[in-house]
Structure 1
């Protein structure tokens, strides 16, 4: 049995991205650093990544373009235990409600388990966020629905839209200001349906631009130049390679400077289930790609 990629994780509050691997029940992670060479070659076929930490019982093969990375049966099992499915209304854990900002005019409201901290926000690619409140699951869910209607913001945004605005971000003050304005409108609803069981949390804008390796005005942290993506990988193929210099990462995306091909983004959800071998920087990009803004197939919603 070979090591299979399990995608990108953001385990540390101030740390960088970690690429996950699994072989049976054994797991490990590879910390990634900006400015270093990064390359891989897909081997064999893409297998189902299983559900809830378990190996797919039938060893199903998964389509290359699927960002879910699971066969239908494992996908149903995984979603049945997710917060989004609302299948455990008596969940005793504490949840937090948040506002997440991805770019000008692109804000969503959502909830996450308190024990996860801001990991969920980094996984979604939120450039800035602020907590709104904390409390039981159903109170957090009611607040999410109230704010979605009252503020006119969604609870899901297609990932391709987040990627499209990432290269042209305003400065940190403007980013925080947009979140602060929505936070003020949210807490003004205190007497208009805000669940009593939900404790309101003070405004504090957390900015992930530095962690992601990007900055205001489309510049990478440290003044390394624009992060504007030219092309996006749409799926891997057996024997296909992706290689370049890692310049940024956000959510599930890795941004690679590939030289002649410019900056190419690879959604690591497309890497899950593949056995990957190392490839040198001269391997280039020999998998299907599409121009960003040119109709890339991104079926995942966050």
Structure 2
């Protein structure tokens, strides 16, 4: 029987995307690389635990879950996160950013400064700009200011991000235009925390990093993995947790959310056809994008 591996997830660095495996092994992903694996026959998807600890229940989790955690482990994992506001005394500096994912899709968020732009790569931000740097609670108050005054959300569903990738503007200037306008509006607001050091508008574009320019449009997305199922295709792009794969028998790319891999035992899939459930990807057509205008409350 072939050796089985468990995937810990996709990580981003300055060199691009890397698949990380339990035990510390890394698989560097490059465009044109053939990605092929199968789910072990008779396998079940197990909870990955929380904060480096195994799930005490060894619970089985749904195949369609992107978290791969049981209810108890998910609660423990979130209880020690910045998103849950349980680390208010964190002394590290944080940065506030505006991230653009496509026309009409801008979000505000924060990330610990030492991570640099990695958080933006993990989210699949097509382009972004920093707003400022300061203590955690000052960064959080700035985030809340933009949500309240400019109606900028702090979350955008991954399904929406995927749907708009095929209709991104061709030029970096076009992709940054909406960010520039919103950054200017944010700079004019009253109520910025004094302890937050503001930053000028300097857009960073990720289309080249993600490999999205000139690649086959995505036509489907993997809905779930199944025991005995296989995935095989040429890697043409990646954004956030998503790999864009072109199967040998397909005309377009299929998006694989790598968060679906965690919790499964995976084995080599050489010679196998793409035989996991794939749902049609609902893409936005030209002219159907959101206008991108986000009116302020005052």
Q: Within 5 Å, give how 1:1-302 maps onto structure 2.
A: 2-10=4-12, 12-13=13-14, 15-22=15-22, 26-43=23-40, 44-170=43-169, 171-189=171-189, 192-215=190-213, 219-220=214-215, 226=216, 228-261=217-250, 262-280=252-270, 282-293=271-282
Q: Any idea what the Cα deviations from partners look like across 1:33-58, whole Å, max 9, x if unmatched?
A: 11121111011211111111222222
**Superposition RMSD in Å:** 1.4
**Distance of 2:191 and 2:241 partners within structure 1:** 35
**Distance of 1:212 and 1:274 partners within structure 2:** 26
**Distance of 1:37 and 1:87 partners within structure 2:** 42
Q: Any idea what the Cα deviations from partners look like across 1:41-87, whole Å, max 9, x if unmatched?
A: 01121111111122222222111000111111110111001111001
TM-score w.r.t. length of structure 1? 0.88
TM-score w.r.t. length of structure 2? 0.90
**Distance of 2:88 and 2:248 partners within structure 1:** 51
Partner of 1:223: none
Partner of 2:291: none
**Distance of 1:82 and 1:8 partners within structure 2:** 19
CA deviation after TM superposition for structure 1 residue 3, in Å: 3.0
**Distance of 2:111 and 2:19 partners within structure 1:** 22
**Distance of 2:70 and 2:115 partners within structure 1:** 26
**Distance of 2:238 and 2:273 partners within structure 1:** 19
**Distance of 1:148 and 1:284 partners within structure 2:** 46
CA deviation after TM superposition for structure 1 residue 2, in Å: 4.9
Partner of 2:294: none
**Distance of 1:245 and 1:38 partners within structure 2:** 6
Q: Any idea what the Cα deviations from partners look like across 1:81-100, whole Å, max 9, x if unmatched?
A: 11110012111111110000
Gaps of at least 5 residues in structure 2 are 284-298
**Distance of 1:255 and 1:127 partners within structure 2:** 15
Partner of 1:297: none
Q: What is the aligned residue count? A: 277
**Distance of 1:78 and 1:117 partners within structure 2:** 23
**Distance of 1:5 and 1:172 partners within structure 2:** 34
